[in-house]
Amino acid sequence: MTGTNLRGLLFTATLAFMVNGALAHGDEDHSQDAGKAASTTPARGTAGAPAALQRLADGSLFVPKPVQRQLGIRTQPARIGDLAATIELNGKIIADPNTGGRVQAPFAGSVMPGPKGMPTPGRKVAKGEVLAWLRPAVGAIERGNQKAQLAELEAQLAIADGRVKRFEQLEGAVPQKEIEAARIEQGALQKRRAYVSASIDGAEPLLAPGAGVISASHHLVAGQIVDAREVLFEIVDPEHLAVEALAYDPGIGASLISASALAGQTALQLNYVGGGRQLREQALPLLFRIISASSMVAVGQPVKVMVRTAHELKGAAVPRAALTRVGAGETAVWVHTDAERFVARKVRVQALDAANMAITEGLHEGDRVVIEGAGLLSQVR
Taking the C-alpha atoms of residue 180 and residue 128, their distance in angstroms, rounded to an integer, is 39
- The CATH class, in words, for 43-99+237-381 is mainly beta
Q: Quote the mean pLDDT of the chain.
A: 81
Interval 39-90: pLDDT, tens: 445 555 444 444 577 888 888 899 998 888 888 999 999 999 888 888 889 9
Helix (H, G, I), strand (E, B) or coil at 272: strand
Q: pLDDT tens-digit profile of 234-248?
A: 999 988 899 999 998
Q: What is the pLDDT of residues 178-222, one digit of tens each?
A: 888 888 998 998 988 888 887 777 788 999 999 999 998 888 899
Sheet with 109-113: list strands edge to edge: 204-207, 130-136, 109-113, 225-226
Better pLDDT: 293 or 376? 376
pTM: 0.59
Q: What is the DSSP string of 122-189?
A: T-EE-TT-EEEEEEE---HHHHHHHHHHHHHHHHHHHHHHHHHHHHHHTBTTB-HHHHHHHHHHHHHH
Residue 33 has pLDDT above 80, yes or no: no
Give kind and range of the element (H or E) at residue 344: strand 341-346
- Name the percent of the chain lying above pLDDT 70: 85
pLDDT at 169: 83
Asked if the domains 43-99+237-381 and 101-236 are classified in one and the same CATH topology, the answer is no
Is residue 325 scored above 90 in pLDDT?
no
CATH code: domain 101-236 is 2.40.50.100
What pLDDT, on a 0 to 100 scale, did the predictor assign at position 20? Answer: 38
pLDDT-derived band at 164 (thresholds 50, 70, 90) equals confident
Report DSSP letters for 175-192, one per residue.
-HHHHHHHHHHHHHHHHH
Q: Are 312 and 82 in contact (CB under 8 A)?
A: yes
CB 128 within 8 A of CB 208: yes
Please report which confidence band the pLDDT of residue 369 belongs to, taking 50, 70 and 90 as the band edges. Answer: very high
Of the candidate ranges 28-32, 71-75, 308-312, the one whose mean pLDDT is the lowest = 28-32
What is residue 13's predicted lDDT score, i.e. its pLDDT?
Answer: 37
Mean pLDDT of 218-227: 89
Please give the Cα distance from 370 to 332 (Å, whole number): 11
Going from N- to C-terminal start, the domains of the chain cover: 43-99+237-381, 101-236
